Structure 1
Amino acid sequence: MRGLALNPCLVLILALWGFSASADENKPNGSSASLAPSARIECSLKRKPGEPFDPPSTSAIPQTDAFVAGEHFKEDIAPTAPVKISWLGATFVRRFAVKVETADDASLQAYLLKNPSNAAEIIGELGTRGESKLADIWCLLKLQANGESGALQTNSTPNIFFVRDGAGDLAVIDALWGGAGWEIGASPVGSQQAWTRGTRIFSR
């Protein structure tokens, strides 16, 4: 009789254990991107390095011009190249070479990735401020055309940007210094590729 009396308690314990296990299974997988804000970089295609920078919001006359991606992003490691680029990915060329943007003065925020995370997790943490422009990337590349030290990392850790392609779809652009020149690729935001800890992210 004692054994039968304990059965309702045992059933209750098992039910609670099963609910707890189910709740654990339904928890989101992976960790937050955990972005650590780093330096803010002012960059302009209109001014030479060292000239005063006025953010677009405070400029009396906005400094704007057309930026044609295909005229700038080219594989070229000659000493005369405006930016040494040793490799352009096929996806980048297909999605971005035809894009035309308005080039303006940019104030970019840099972040360091504290945990391995995919693009969706990173953009989820950045929110609406996460997007950049091809002109922003080119502006930073020109400051480190030959792999000099600067805002962009020049070790084996990538620099990434979230940019809309010629069709208006958001993608990830990564830039890595390869020794002879910059290597630039592109991938979908929905890719499950995990960007490594220490990846530097730039946004407006």
Structure 2
Amino acid sequence: MRQPSFTLWLTVVLATQGLSVAADETRPGQPGTVAAADRVACSLQPKNEEPSDPSSTSAIPHAEKFVAREHFKEDIASSAPVRISWLGATFAQRFTNKIEDDSGGASLQTFILSAASSDKEILAKLGQSHESRLADVWCALRRQPSGSNGPLEVNARPNVFYVRDSAGELGAVDVLWGGVGWEIGASPVGDKPRWPGGTRVFSR
């Protein structure tokens, strides 16, 4: 006769614990799902033209075009410009054939998700400045080629950039430090809350 009461009590306890976990995940953030963090300056100019400001960096040699396949390659050797341990099939298919015009340096705004969010929710918060380029992704990677601390998260949380592929379609490019190298994937923009709290998002 007391079993239903015990079951109800257990259900209430588990539900309360679940709410507590959810609250802990969102506590560090500000109201809303996207909280602004630091701005990162990246330059495409050669090193001898770099400003002395340590927040700026030369991401790639100055060139008329940024050819993605010349930079995004699986290579974890210590001599690699960026240690990349894995390129996802979707990224390889949609992005490595892309060639971008060199438009000089970029200033990237970083954001931290305070709760699990979908691509569409993030894009709505970021507004018109949500897009980045593959050159921007490379710039960020060049700052932390071996997984050192910096603007990109290196604690198993993803870093997300919204970039147009070689066909002009917007996609989500995610960069994750895997311990021996960077893992780079890509996926279509969706409406499911797949990016966990703590994910770092970059935009122009």
| Counterpart for residue 25 of structure 1 | none
Tell me if the contact between 2:176 and 2:183 (Cα under 8 Å) persists in the aligned partners: yes
Tell me if the contact between 2:113 and 2:200 (Cα under 8 Å) persists in the aligned partners: yes
Match status 1:36 vs 2:25: no
3-state SS of the aligned residue for 1:79?
coil
CA–CA distance in structure 2, aligned partners of residues 50 and 40 of structure 1: 21
Task: Tell me how large the CA RMSD over aligned residues is.
Answer: 2.1
| Counterpart for residue 7 of structure 2 | none
| Counterpart for residue 87 of structure 2 | 88
CA–CA distance in structure 2, aligned partners of residues 39 and 202 of structure 1: 10
3-state SS of the aligned residue for 1:183?
strand
| Counterpart for residue 169 of structure 2 | 169
For 1:61-76, list aligned pairs within 5 A: 65-76=64-75
* Larger of the two Rg values belongs to structure: 1
For 1:120-135, list aligned pairs within 5 A: 120-135=120-135
CA–CA distance in structure 2, aligned partners of residues 140 and 49 of structure 1: 19
| Unmatched 5+ stretches in structure 1 | 1-31, 55-62
Shift >6 Å, 4+ stretches: none
For 1:175-194, list aligned pairs within 5 A: 175-190=175-190, 192-194=192-194
- TM-score, with normalisation over the residues of structure 2? 0.76
Tell me if the contact between 1:43 and 1:136 (Cα under 8 Å) persists in the aligned partners: yes
CA–CA distance in structure 2, aligned partners of residues 162 and 82 of structure 1: 23
Tell me if the contact between 1:33 and 1:117 (Cα under 8 Å) persists in the aligned partners: no
Match status 1:147 vs 2:147: yes
Tell me if the contact between 2:65 and 2:101 (Cα under 8 Å) persists in the aligned partners: yes
User: Structure 1 pair 141/156, CA: closer, same or farther in 2 (3 Å)?
Assistant: same
The structural deviation recorded for 1:194 is 1.4
